[in-house]
Amino acid sequence: MNARRALWQRRLGNLVLGLLVIAIASGVAGYLYLRWQQDTESQQDNTTAPDRATLDGTMPARVSSEARKNLGVITRAILPTSYYRQIEIPGTIVDRPGVSDRGVSAPVAGVVSRIHTFPGETVQPNTPLFTLRLVSDAIHTAQLELFKATKEIEIARQQRQRLEGLAASGGVPGVRMIELENEIQRLQVTAIGSQQILVARGFSPEQIAAASQGDFVTEITVFAPGETAPPTGSRRDKDDSQSLLQEAFAFELQTLNVALGQQVEAGMVLCVLADHRLLMIEGRGFRKDLWVIQNAVMSDLPIEVVFESNEQGDWPTAPQSFRLAHIANAIDPSSRTFGVYLPLVNQWRPVTPADPTHFMWRYSPGDRVRVFVAVDLMENVFVLPLAAVVREGGEAFVFRQNGDLFDRISVHVLHEDGRNVVIANDGKLRRNSFIAHRAAASLNRILKSQMSSGQATNMHVHADGTVHAAH
C-alpha cells in the first residue's frame, strides 16, 4: 500500500514538473514573439516616418555644415515685400547713331604722305591724323586765282592812288576813276570766291594768307574733330553729357581705311574715330509685348537693365536710371520683333595712372544685356531667387533651415521670371524664417536619398546623447 502511494506521488510530481516546464517554455515563446512584433513595428515606424511627415507639408533633410559648404547653401531671413511683375527682353549695347562713331573724311583730293595715328591708339581732339599731298587741279587753280586777284588789287589800288591828284585837277576824266573802282571790286569778288573754295577744303586762315602771297600750299593736314557737346535727348541725358565733357577725354582710332601712298578723293572717309561715352541699349521685343511696354512708358514704370559684365571688375555703381528713348514703329519681317531703345552713359578709366590717354571702357558695343520692364505691382509677397525653389510635378518646395535640418515646405508660386520667384504670403512661410536661397534641387535630392535608405532625418542628437524630435 505504501509502495503504491509512493508510486502515485512520483507520477504526480513528474506531471507537475512537466506542466511547469511547458508553462515556462510557453512564457519564453510568448516573450520572444512580443519582442519580435515590437521590433517589426518599430522598423515599420522608422520607415514610414518621413511619409507621415508629408501630411503637414514639411519634410526634414539632415545636412551637415560641411555638406552645406560644399553645396554652396546660403540661408537668409525673408520678409514680405512688394515686387513688380516684369517681362524680360533680350538686348544688345550698340553705338548711338550720330554720336558714338565719327568718320574723318579727306577735304581735298590728294595722296596720303603720312599717317600720324594707327588703330587702337588714342588721340586728343584737334590733333593731326593724316598729311595729304595735294593733287587737285581745282585747289591749285583756286590758289593761283587768289594770288592773281590779290596782286591785281594791289596794282589797281596803286594806280588809283597815283591818279587821284590828277582827277582832282581835271587832268584825268572822272570816268577813269570809276572804272578803276569797279575793277578793284571785281577783283575782290574773285579773291573772296577763291578764299571760300580753300576754306571749304580745310585750309586754315594762315594757309590762305600764304597762298594769296604766292606761297602755295602743297600739303594739308587732317585733324581730329574738336570736342563739342554730342546731341542729347532728355534733361538727364544732357546733364550726363555736360559732365562727360568736363573730364579728360581722347578719341580712339577704331578703323583705318587708307594706306601710305594711296590717292584719295575729296569726301573719302580716311578713318573712323570711336567715342563710346554715350551708347544705346537696343532691346528686341515680340509683338505681343508691345502694349505692355507702351503701358510702362505711359505709366512711368521702372525699367531695369542687367549687364553681362556687371559682375566683373570693380567698377563703381552707374549713377543712372533707365528710361525708354523711343520704340521702333516697324516690325522686323524676319525675326518678328521690334526695337526698344534706352540711352546708356558709359564709364571709362585709364589703363595705367601714368598714361591717362589710354583707357578702357566699362560697356562696349556688342555686349549682351537683359531688359526687365515692369508690368504691375504685387504686394505682400515673398521674393526668392530661382535656385531657392524646386519643383516636382505641380508642387513647388522651399527649404527652411532648422539647425542641421532643412524642412521642405510646399509653397504657392504666384509669378516666376528669369531671376526671381514670387511666393504667396499665405501662412506657409513666416516672417524672418531662414530659407535656403541656393541649392534647393540638391537639398531635395539629399532628402530623397535619406527617405529611400529608411534613415530617420527628423531627430536632433544633443551633446549629452539624448535624442529629440525636430522642433
Strands (E), 128-210: 128-134
pLDDT at 94: 93
From CA 102, how far away is CA 424, in angstroms rounded? 53
| Bridge partner list, 415 | 422
From CA 240, how far away is CA 235, in angstroms rounded? 9
| Bridge partner list, 409 | 398
What residues contact residue 104 under an 8 Å CB cut-off, 6+ apart? 129, 130, 222, 224, 225, 269, 270, 271, 272, 273
Contact (Cβ atoms closer than 8 angstroms) between residue 93 and residue 364: yes
What residues contact residue 72 under an 8 Å CB cut-off, 6+ apart? 438, 439
Q: What angle is formed at CA 385 by the lines to CA 383 and CA 389, rounded to 5 degrees?
A: 95
Domain boundaries, the chain: 52-83+379-460
What residues contact residue 67 under an 8 Å CB cut-off, 6+ apart? 446
Mean pLDDT of successive 10-residue stretches along the chain, which has 471 residues: 65 68 69 57 41 48 85 90 89 89 89 91 88 85 86 84 71 73 86 85 84 85 72 44 51 91 92 89 90 84 80 67 84 89 86 72 89 89 93 91 88 88 90 90 87 59 43 48
pTM above 0.85, yes or no: no
Biggest distance spanned by C-alpha atoms of the chain? 207
pLDDT at 47: 39
pLDDT at 248: 52
Q: Look at the block and give the residue holding cell 577704331.
A: 254
Residue 314 three-state SS: coil
Burial class (CB in 10 A: 0-12, 13-18, 19+), 242: exposed
pLDDT at 315: 77
How far is CA 363 from its chain centroid? 8
Query: Would you identify the CATH topology of the domain 52-83+379-460?
Result: 2.40.420
pLDDT at 43: 43
Alpha-carbon Rg of the chain, whole angstroms?
A: 46
C-alpha distances in angstroms, 315 versus 21, 142, 160, 348?
A: 91, 54, 73, 9
- CA dihedral (103, 108, 114, 120) in degrees, to 10, reads 0
How far is CA 115 from its chain centroid? 36
